[in-house]
Amino acid sequence: MTKQLTETSKYLSYILRHEPQSIGLELDSEGWVDIDILINAAGKAGTALDRDLIQHVVDTSEKKRFTVSADGRRIRAAQGHTTAAVDIQHVAKTPPDVLYHGTATRFLESILAEGLRPGQRHHVHLSENVGTATEVGKRYGTPVILQVDAARLHQQGVVFFQADNGVWLVERVPAEFLAPV
Protein backbone atom coordinates (compact mmCIF):
# COMPACT_ATOMS: atom_id res chain seq x y z
CA MET A 1 0.00 0.00 0.00
CA THR A 2 1.33 3.44 -0.81
CA LYS A 3 1.80 6.01 1.91
CA GLN A 4 -1.19 8.00 0.66
CA LEU A 5 -3.46 4.95 0.82
CA THR A 6 -2.27 4.04 4.33
CA GLU A 7 -2.77 7.59 5.54
CA THR A 8 -6.24 7.77 4.01
CA SER A 9 -7.15 4.42 5.54
CA LYS A 10 -6.08 5.65 8.98
CA TYR A 11 -7.99 8.88 8.48
CA LEU A 12 -11.15 6.99 7.45
CA SER A 13 -10.79 4.69 10.47
CA TYR A 14 -10.49 7.71 12.75
CA ILE A 15 -13.54 9.42 11.26
CA LEU A 16 -15.77 6.38 10.67
CA ARG A 17 -14.97 4.50 13.89
CA HIS A 18 -14.05 7.05 16.48
CA GLU A 19 -14.46 10.81 15.95
CA PRO A 20 -16.92 11.69 13.15
CA GLN A 21 -17.87 14.84 15.06
CA SER A 22 -14.29 16.12 14.74
CA ILE A 23 -15.19 17.16 11.17
CA GLY A 24 -18.86 17.84 11.91
CA LEU A 25 -20.00 14.55 10.41
CA GLU A 26 -23.00 12.53 11.57
CA LEU A 27 -23.03 8.76 11.07
CA ASP A 28 -26.33 6.91 11.27
CA SER A 29 -26.77 4.25 13.95
CA GLU A 30 -25.57 1.58 11.48
CA GLY A 31 -22.37 3.57 10.92
CA TRP A 32 -23.21 4.72 7.38
CA VAL A 33 -22.51 8.11 5.88
CA ASP A 34 -23.06 9.44 2.37
CA ILE A 35 -19.68 9.45 0.58
CA ASP A 36 -20.23 12.91 -0.93
CA ILE A 37 -21.04 14.34 2.49
CA LEU A 38 -17.89 12.70 3.91
CA ILE A 39 -15.74 14.15 1.09
CA ASN A 40 -17.23 17.59 1.65
CA ALA A 41 -16.76 17.55 5.44
CA ALA A 42 -13.18 16.24 5.17
CA GLY A 43 -12.34 18.89 2.57
CA LYS A 44 -13.65 21.70 4.76
CA ALA A 45 -11.54 20.34 7.62
CA GLY A 46 -8.41 20.31 5.43
CA THR A 47 -8.20 16.71 4.17
CA ALA A 48 -8.66 16.30 0.44
CA LEU A 49 -10.50 13.08 -0.45
CA ASP A 50 -12.17 11.99 -3.65
CA ARG A 51 -14.25 9.01 -4.70
CA ASP A 52 -11.43 7.25 -6.55
CA LEU A 53 -9.08 7.51 -3.58
CA ILE A 54 -11.75 6.23 -1.18
CA GLN A 55 -12.68 3.35 -3.50
CA HIS A 56 -9.00 2.46 -3.87
CA VAL A 57 -8.60 2.33 -0.07
CA VAL A 58 -11.72 0.16 0.21
CA ASP A 59 -10.51 -2.21 -2.52
CA THR A 60 -6.95 -2.57 -1.21
CA SER A 61 -7.73 -2.89 2.51
CA GLU A 62 -6.49 -6.37 3.32
CA LYS A 63 -8.70 -6.42 6.41
CA LYS A 64 -11.70 -5.09 4.45
CA ARG A 65 -12.02 -2.35 7.05
CA PHE A 66 -14.64 -0.39 5.11
CA THR A 67 -17.87 -1.39 3.40
CA VAL A 68 -19.48 0.55 0.54
CA SER A 69 -23.26 0.15 0.29
CA ALA A 70 -24.68 -1.81 -2.65
CA ASP A 71 -25.82 1.41 -4.37
CA GLY A 72 -22.29 2.83 -4.07
CA ARG A 73 -23.47 5.93 -2.25
CA ARG A 74 -22.55 5.26 1.37
CA ILE A 75 -19.58 3.96 3.35
CA ARG A 76 -19.06 2.61 6.86
CA ALA A 77 -16.34 0.98 8.95
CA ALA A 78 -17.06 -2.75 9.20
CA GLN A 79 -16.14 -2.95 12.89
CA GLY A 80 -13.87 -1.47 15.53
CA HIS A 81 -16.10 1.47 16.49
CA THR A 82 -15.77 3.38 19.72
CA THR A 83 -18.21 6.22 18.92
CA ALA A 84 -21.47 5.99 20.85
CA ALA A 85 -23.30 7.34 17.77
CA VAL A 86 -23.01 3.94 16.12
CA ASP A 87 -24.74 0.77 17.27
CA ILE A 88 -24.66 -1.66 14.36
CA GLN A 89 -27.37 -4.30 14.62
CA HIS A 90 -25.19 -7.20 13.50
CA VAL A 91 -27.05 -10.42 12.78
CA ALA A 92 -26.42 -13.12 15.39
CA LYS A 93 -24.56 -16.08 13.95
CA THR A 94 -23.35 -19.48 15.17
CA PRO A 95 -19.56 -19.26 15.54
CA PRO A 96 -17.01 -21.91 14.58
CA ASP A 97 -16.24 -24.22 17.52
CA VAL A 98 -12.94 -22.47 18.15
CA LEU A 99 -11.98 -18.82 17.67
CA TYR A 100 -8.74 -17.01 18.46
CA HIS A 101 -7.77 -13.75 20.10
CA GLY A 102 -4.32 -12.26 19.62
CA THR A 103 -3.03 -9.99 22.34
CA ALA A 104 0.26 -8.90 23.92
CA THR A 105 1.99 -11.06 26.54
CA ARG A 106 1.85 -8.17 29.03
CA PHE A 107 -1.99 -8.33 29.01
CA LEU A 108 -2.11 -12.08 29.57
CA GLU A 109 -2.22 -12.17 33.37
CA SER A 110 -5.05 -9.67 33.54
CA ILE A 111 -7.00 -11.40 30.74
CA LEU A 112 -6.69 -14.83 32.39
CA ALA A 113 -8.00 -13.27 35.62
CA GLU A 114 -10.82 -11.08 34.23
CA GLY A 115 -11.57 -12.54 30.82
CA LEU A 116 -11.59 -10.53 27.58
CA ARG A 117 -13.25 -7.13 27.77
CA PRO A 118 -14.02 -4.84 24.83
CA GLY A 119 -12.05 -1.87 26.18
CA GLN A 120 -12.96 1.28 24.24
CA ARG A 121 -14.53 -0.64 21.38
CA HIS A 122 -18.06 -1.99 21.26
CA HIS A 123 -17.06 -5.67 21.21
CA VAL A 124 -14.24 -8.12 21.85
CA HIS A 125 -12.75 -9.03 18.45
CA LEU A 126 -12.03 -12.67 17.60
CA SER A 127 -10.38 -14.25 14.55
CA GLU A 128 -11.01 -17.53 12.77
CA ASN A 129 -7.34 -18.37 12.45
CA VAL A 130 -4.11 -18.13 14.41
CA GLY A 131 -2.34 -16.15 11.65
CA THR A 132 -4.79 -13.24 11.78
CA ALA A 133 -4.86 -13.32 15.58
CA THR A 134 -1.06 -13.12 15.63
CA GLU A 135 -1.12 -10.00 13.44
CA VAL A 136 -3.70 -8.41 15.76
CA GLY A 137 -1.64 -9.29 18.87
CA LYS A 138 1.59 -7.90 17.38
CA ARG A 139 0.12 -4.38 17.39
CA TYR A 140 0.66 -4.14 21.14
CA GLY A 141 3.93 -6.05 21.65
CA THR A 142 5.10 -9.66 21.71
CA PRO A 143 1.99 -11.55 20.64
CA VAL A 144 0.31 -14.38 22.46
CA ILE A 145 -2.68 -16.27 21.12
CA LEU A 146 -5.66 -17.32 23.19
CA GLN A 147 -8.01 -20.03 22.07
CA VAL A 148 -11.68 -19.31 22.74
CA ASP A 149 -14.10 -22.17 23.36
CA ALA A 150 -16.73 -20.52 21.17
CA ALA A 151 -18.92 -23.64 20.94
CA ARG A 152 -19.38 -23.85 24.71
CA LEU A 153 -19.81 -20.09 25.09
CA HIS A 154 -22.47 -20.09 22.37
CA GLN A 155 -24.16 -23.11 23.93
CA GLN A 156 -24.46 -21.10 27.15
CA GLY A 157 -26.44 -18.41 25.36
CA VAL A 158 -23.72 -15.89 24.54
CA VAL A 159 -24.53 -14.17 21.24
CA PHE A 160 -21.88 -14.00 18.51
CA PHE A 161 -21.88 -11.65 15.53
CA GLN A 162 -19.79 -11.48 12.40
CA ALA A 163 -18.87 -8.08 10.96
CA ASP A 164 -18.99 -7.30 7.22
CA ASN A 165 -15.30 -8.19 7.02
CA GLY A 166 -15.48 -11.57 8.77
CA VAL A 167 -14.22 -10.48 12.19
CA TRP A 168 -16.16 -12.23 14.98
CA LEU A 169 -17.62 -10.03 17.70
CA VAL A 170 -18.82 -10.87 21.19
CA GLU A 171 -19.63 -8.77 24.24
CA ARG A 172 -17.06 -10.42 26.49
CA VAL A 173 -15.33 -13.74 27.07
CA PRO A 174 -15.09 -15.03 30.64
CA ALA A 175 -11.66 -16.41 31.55
CA GLU A 176 -12.85 -20.02 31.85
CA PHE A 177 -13.46 -20.10 28.09
CA LEU A 178 -9.87 -19.06 27.31
CA ALA A 179 -6.67 -21.04 26.98
CA PRO A 180 -3.25 -19.94 25.65
CA VAL A 181 -2.45 -21.79 22.39
**Residue closest to 163 by CA, chosen among 129, 137, 128:** 128
Closest CB to ligand HQG among residues 4, 43:
4
State the nearest-atom distance from the C-beta of 44 to ligand HQG, in Å.
Answer: 26
Name the residue nearer to ligand HQG (CB basis): 34 or 107.
Answer: 107
Q: How far is the CB of 150 from ligand HQG (least distance, A)?
A: 15
Closer of 36 and 181 to ligand HQG (Cβ): 181
Pick the closest to residue 163 from 112, 108, 126 (CA basis). Answer: 126
Residue 22: closest CA among 69, 75, 67, 83? 83
| Measured distance CA(14)–CA(12) in Å, rounded | 5
Instruction: State the residues that interact with ligand HQG by CB under 6 A.
Output: 63, 65, 80, 103-104, 107, 110-111, 114, 116-117, 119-121, 125, 136, 140, 167
